[in-house]
Amino acid sequence: MVFTPSPMLLKLLYNRGSLHNLPDGQGVAFSIKNRLDTVHLTGVGHVAIGGVVVPPEHIQLDLGGGERRLATSLGAAGQALELAVGQVVSFVLDTASLPEGMHQLGVRFSTDAFGELHVEVEDAIVSQDSRVRIPRSEDDDYADAAIQARQQFAEQFTQQEFKHLKQYSFDAHQLQGNCESFVGVAQVPVGLAGPLTVNGEHAQGDFLIPLATTEGTLVASYNRGIQVLNLCGGVKCTVIGDAMQRAPVFVFDDARGARDFGRWVADSLEQIRPEAESTSRVAKLQYIDTYLSNKFAYLRFNFSTGDAAGQNMVGRATFAACSWILEHYKGAPIRHFYLESNFATDKKASQINVMRTRGKRVVAEAVVKRDVLQQRMRVTPEQLAYHGQVSNVGAFLSGANNNGAHSANGITALFIATGQDVANVSESSAGVLYSEVTKEGDLYINITIPSLIVATHGGGTGLATQNECLRMLGCVGRGTIYKFAEIVAGVVLAGELSLGAAISSSDWVSSHEQYGRNR
């Protein structure tokens, strides 16, 4: 790690709300969380609470799992304590209990990477919470005993028996980092569509498509669109953009200060880049967009993230870059800083992501032969192209982020099957659909997905069922993310073709009545 954390960022190490009195007057405790980088804690100075100074001799470090270290043991004979990113350390103070209310807190400690650090915050002592709590184990919360305790708790609390929820076929320890307070599984049906013929730069060949859904006719509809595309030579897919964002905001006294800061950031990109990239072997800073409003400077950091979706990766990288910025900018004073300003629009649909890309920007296109379209879909190219023009007006009037029919259906079903973060459907569902009648009288159809957020590594992609579905697509292993993005786009186009034709030919309602009702 090469950056020096600023005092503003150091405050973020403290876990707000962690200050509490220990039972039976045994002291006071609070915790800090390593949000910077893997470091070695080399020493602990004093802790000050209000006017009381607690020396190292009266401080223990609780690492969890019953492991405690005396603060005075650090630094002796070169002893240090390794702290991984995300690790929490509780400071246990041998001092008198604190009264309820706000307290000023100062902590001094040193690390090998950053030297001596001083964190100053305020926190409150509040009355004990007596609410019913879900059982958990500090030692191993994914052990059978911990899971069974939660299952029994849920059944007793609700007076219900959960037979199917409790049945699963994998080691629950695989879920660490994916699901907390694990109690069981939601079994979502998976249907097969395809094979789909994809003519991509990365996905080439025929692919079986696993779709996890409870919506009747969804798999059948996508399968119908796939068959038509295959009869016309398949779908051509192209990744045309790749960027994942984090968007911090810097607050100044006036607009001029924000403007000058934006200019300095643009001039300092080559100094900022290595700071950001020092946190990861994968994340690469491509560029920084600056947007000014009022007295605020919004910086939109754009990274490539390899096979990972990368939201956490770019958050950490941007954190490091902003720490360097806060330390080195000598212009107008920065009054406030927030790592995320809501301008990356994480898990929200937005026009900026349609215009500037978030995740993968991918296009799927095909020429559907006139005779195939009429024989299989009972519509003509002219009907579908005209229907598209009418639908464009409806999408425009409604302010929708998609002028197509239902890209979210196929994307969501693929996301659930392959372990994607399903909340990213909010961005990924944006689409720009275009069609025209060719001079040969066929239908050219194309959809651009401007913010498809997918991963073939990390997140839920390594879980048992989800990894099997990715293996079905041949999208496991290094360098498979563009392949997966192309397949997703091809599936989306098949769904647009199928549903668009069903609405145009008035088959939509009758199909749902025939296949989609379980009455």
DSSP letters, 249-283, are: EEE-SSHHHHHHHHHHHHHTHHHHHHHHHTT-SS-
Cα(28)–Cα(91) distance, integer angstroms: 8
Looking at 289, 346, 421, 486, which residue is catalytic? 421
Instruction: Give the dihedral sign, CA 398/403/406/408.
Output: negative
Query: Which domain CATH number covers 102?
Result: 2.60.40
Whether residue 217 lies inside any domain: the answer is yes
Residues 320 and 276: beta-carbon distance below 8 Å:
yes
Q: Give the rounded distance of the alpha carbon of 417 from its chain centre.
A: 17
Question: Which of 297, 318, 338 finishes a domain?
Answer: 338
Q: Are residues 214 and 70 in the same domain?
A: no
Q: Which two tokens stand for residue 427?
A: 């961005």
512 is catalytic: yes
Per-residue pLDDT of the chain (519 residues; tens, 9 = 90+): 445 566 666 777 788 888 888 888 888 888 888 876 677 888 888 888 877 888 888 888 888 777 888 888 887 666 888 888 778 888 898 888 888 888 888 888 888 877 788 888 888 887 766 678 899 988 899 999 999 999 999 999 999 999 999 999 999 999 998 999 999 999 999 999 989 999 999 999 999 999 999 998 999 999 999 999 999 999 999 999 999 999 999 999 999 999 999 999 999 999 999 999 988 899 999 999 999 999 999 999 999 999 999 898 999 899 989 989 998 999 999 999 999 999 999 999 899 999 999 999 999 999 999 999 999 999 999 999 999 999 999 999 999 999 999 999 999 999 999 999 999 999 999 999 999 999 999 999 999 999 999 999 999 999 999 999 999 999 998 999 999 999 999 999 999 999 999 888 765 444 545 555 555
Question: Which of 272, 305, 338 finishes a domain?
Answer: 338
- Residues in a beta bridge with 431: 402
260 is catalytic: no
DSSP letters, 413-471, are: HHHHHHT--GGGHHHHT-BEEEEEE-TTS-EEEEEEEEEE---SSSTTTTSHHHHHHHH
* Cβ atoms < 10 Å from Cβ of 356: 17
Whether residue 233 lies inside any domain: the answer is yes
Whether residue 435 lies inside any domain: the answer is yes
Q: Which two tokens stand for residue 139?
A: 């030692």
Q: Are residues 120 and 154 in the same domain?
A: no
Q: Are residues 197 and 322 in the same domain?
A: no
Cα(259)–Cα(253) distance, integer angstroms: 11
Looking at 40, 46, 328, 512, which residue is catalytic? 512
Looking at 120, 215, 260, 340, which residue is catalytic? 215
Question: Which of 308, 338, 368 finishes a domain?
Answer: 338
Residues 400 and 391: beta-carbon distance below 8 Å:
no
Whether residue 182 lies inside any domain: the answer is no
Q: Are residues 363 and 415 in the same domain?
A: yes
Q: Are residues 223 and 368 in the same domain?
A: yes
Tell how many helices (H) and how many strands (E) occur in the chain: 14, 20
User: In this structure, which amino acid lies at residue 510?
Assistant: S
Structural domain boundaries, residue 158: 144-175
Query: Which domain CATH number covers 212?
Result: 3.90.770.10
Whether residue 409 lies inside any domain: the answer is yes
Q: Are residues 164 and 195 in the same domain?
A: no
Q: Are residues 273 and 167 in the same domain?
A: no
Q: Which residue has the tokens 């034709």?
A: 501
Q: Are residues 276 and 371 in the same domain?
A: no
Cα(358)–Cα(408) distance, integer angstroms: 16
Whether residue 1 lies inside any domain: the answer is no
Q: Are residues 329 and 391 in the same domain?
A: no
Reference 289, options 225, 228, 355, 359; nearest CA is 355
Residues 494 and 232: beta-carbon distance below 8 Å:
no
Whether residue 345 lies inside any domain: the answer is no
Query: Which domain CATH number covers 310?
Result: 3.30.70.420
- Residues in a beta bridge with 116: 110
Cα(107)–Cα(41) distance, integer angstroms: 13
112 is catalytic: no
Cα(476)–Cα(460) distance, integer angstroms: 13
Please work out, in degrees rounded to the nearest 5, the angle formed at the alpha carbon of residue 275 by the alpha carbons of 271 and 80.
140
Instruction: Give the dihedral sign, CA 435/423/420/299.
Output: positive
Q: Are residues 443 and 296 in the same domain?
A: no
**List of residues 6+ apart from 94 with CB closer than 8 A:** 27, 54, 58, 59, 60
Q: What is the number of domains present in the chain?
A: 4
* Cβ atoms < 10 Å from Cβ of 92: 19
Q: Which two tokens stand for residue 156?
A: 């007793």
Q: Are residues 221 and 295 in the same domain?
A: no
* Cβ atoms < 10 Å from Cβ of 479: 11
Cα(110)–Cα(112) distance, integer angstroms: 7
Whether residue 161 lies inside any domain: the answer is yes
Q: Are residues 238 and 355 in the same domain?
A: yes
